[in-house]
Amino acid sequence: MDEPWIELLNSDWHDFRSQGPAEDRLESPQWVGGFLAQWKLSPRVVAAKSTRIGLGELRSLLKRLVLTIAEGQRPHPDDLETLNAYLAAGPFHCRLQYMPEADRVYYLRMEPVRENLRTTLAHIARSFAEVLVAGDPARIKLCENPDCRWVFYDRSRSRTRRWCEGASGCGNLLKVRRFRERQKKKRGKPPSRSTRRD
């Protein structure tokens, strides 16, 4: 399953087949409501325009950080300070839950002390920061399809995943495109001189 920071980044949606228009899903209150509900974030902040603006500003920051990290560079100190400001704005407390149906019976959940836009943004920022600390930043990648550029976390054992989706999406699309280009080049070549005609 993706993390909220990945889904927020990918709300700046582009048609991976380059056939349709781009779409900023943050402009849709329905999408924002579904996003907040999926990640169990405050439903009280959905309708406000300030929510969409706040999510857009955080998305811009995360996009800069991801692009920098994906290029193998260190994030700019100002961007890290801005991320820290998001993290500082959301006081949380721990809540222990008993969940016998889950993989682990006991589950520790971080819950905001108050539910508002600041704690919502802090939760999303924290999900990104946790990947930098506990995950592997080198696994944060951008889909190599230039029409897509979807952000994903490469969980493959070999760390060589290049596309957001393999057989069903961009990977298959680009393989088909390359195959067709090779076929077109073959058809456009003059006959080989070594070919004998009788």
Q: Is the pLDDT of residue 196 over 50?
A: no
Burial of residue 65 (number of CB atoms within 10 Å: 0-12, 13-18, 19+): buried
pLDDT of residue 195: 40
3-class secondary-structure state, position 23: strand
Q: Is the pLDDT of residue 136 over 70?
A: yes
- Which CATH number is correct for 4-89+115-187, 3.20.20.220, 1.10.3300.10, 3.40.190.10, 3.40.50.620? 1.10.3300.10
Q: Is the pLDDT of residue 36 over 60?
A: yes
User: pLDDT digits over 168-187, tens only?
Assistant: 567 666 666 666 677 777 77
Q: Is the pLDDT of residue 61 over 90?
A: yes
* Structural tokens at position 152: 């994903």
Percent of the chain residues topping a pLDDT of 90: 39
Q: What is the pTM of this model?
A: 0.77
Burial of residue 42 (number of CB atoms within 10 Å: 0-12, 13-18, 19+): middle
Sequence letter at residue 132: L
User: pLDDT digits over 67-122, tens only?
Assistant: 999 999 999 999 999 999 999 988 887 888 887 776 667 877 777 787 788 889 99
Q: 114 or 4: which carries more pLDDT confidence?
A: 4
Q: 140 or 102: which carries more pLDDT confidence?
A: 140
For the chain, domain boundaries: 4-89+115-187
DSSP assignments along 73-141, one per residue: -PPPHHHHHHHHHHHHT--EEEEEEE-TTSSSSEEEEEEESS-SHHHHHHHHHHHHHHHHHHS-GGGEE
Mean pLDDT of the residues in the chain = 82
